[in-house]
Structure 1
């Protein structure tokens, strides 16, 4: 068996013996609607330094999406996992959406935001919404930093989102991203008090139930999510974005369940697909058995500062052989240190998620030589 050296905070190294990858039962499932928010693969020779326009390795980026579709997931495109708002500019995001739509073999939804040069949030939203619809993807109305900075109260959110929902000709997904993922979104929906903000959010949804396919909630608060989903109008889905508590939220209870739109599915796709197929077959014990080992990995990757989880996702894709270089748009591969990355490797191994342990060990050894 292959061994690797893992560094600790004290500067000492310990040996970890890698296990064999697990055998997965992957493919389509109908137990839940599940989107994987997919990362992008930076071109290692593209000058992806801080502040520079994003340059992608298109072949590897699109191949990763094909893999997610093959595992049975829908792809949530151009979201925060793809470094939206952290290096992925709108022009590149739009090209990404169009390219993904041109090869899609499964469901595709895409982020609509305000992250381009337009004076007011509503106009910016409209421009991106039209482009996403034209590309053939389901719109996901992402939270807007611009709106958060200019809104004075809940009525401003109702005005902007209400206008968009009046105009759309298909149901959209509403996205609520918490401050752990983006501190600039404090007070979204018109209040920094989460219960009050939830009331404003529900007022909007109840005014347009036929225009809302579902809500994607990323507040990392399982009890809040359960309460919210029980308050939604009939037919409106709750897509969990809780990368800490997803097994229990997706499994649900006697009063309902959450569907999913998760960044961690990018990294644990074979395990999540296997678990969701087991759930579809009514085997809840197998579902929990498969997903439980992934939770420690997800909580580590999404640990504070949570908005840098993308580094761990890309690192795991590199270890798995799904991209040739460990690099990110904006140079954000440096956002996590070697100790954090070593622990991500260990937890991925314990979950059986390293498809080629020998390759992972070789790549880790090369990185360790550079960083220590």
Structure 2
């Protein structure tokens, strides 16, 4: 079987080694005579998998001991509600930086729960850039400041994070967690849907500073970080298969040399695709400004809808998948998460150059 050249934005490519490992254990994990999907979440085998995943994530991200790691469900979209429910005090405001569709949705959910303020926005510029740090207006009395670290739809990314001092910084890192080294202690809370760099869809990682976990009698149990922390993310039946695959992905990251090596490879992949855009004499136009460009999601347009349609059709015929831009803005997008091999990016680079040359030569408009 020939593997697709997978540039999907999410669910996205998984490391081939991880898939092969899961396949080898599909019917019989650790000589149990069962698939991981058949194991009790209270069994010793799954308990070991669960603890191994938590330990590996702490090791890779160098998470300090005063942080809790939770594996929850509901995706980042549920976190849009859980964050303000757990962190925003009734007499305070939650500050949000708006850099794209997902931060807009996060703000919308927070507005249903408590008082909010917009600390910065790139909306007037069609989200082509991340606001500069000195442009942000963060209140000293804010419950927290929320950012979306990488914007999959518009192809922008935070390359420097705000120093919020005593105001907790909360970040949706769904699409760039594990793509580079970060200082976790700059954040009060990090959450990430797994389906980009962590594993399959179905599990959400939450990294939260312990002093931000409070007991609250008014919150439903399933929406309380305190309840999940007390029960080690096992208050209800967890997504066992997703956590198992997540644990394999974390082992893969370690085998690759950790985040330093992963980040170097991601930078190399991104430079190659941006080179195809920047050296195309305007044939390809990137959406994001150079200082805000994402190393995970590269968004671009061609000279008109006809050219884009032809590009996507020929790309599909050549074995590429997932190059369509988000339905809300159109255009094209190449998502080059950790599991996308450099060789696939080389093939895309060659395809983009060849398509440009042929299109220009034929004079098709």
**TM-score band (shorter)?**
0.3 to 0.5
| More helix, by proportion | 1
Q: So what's the TM-score if we normalise by structure 1?
A: 0.33
Q: So what's the TM-score if we normalise by structure 2?
A: 0.33
Q: Which has the larger radius of gyration?
A: 2
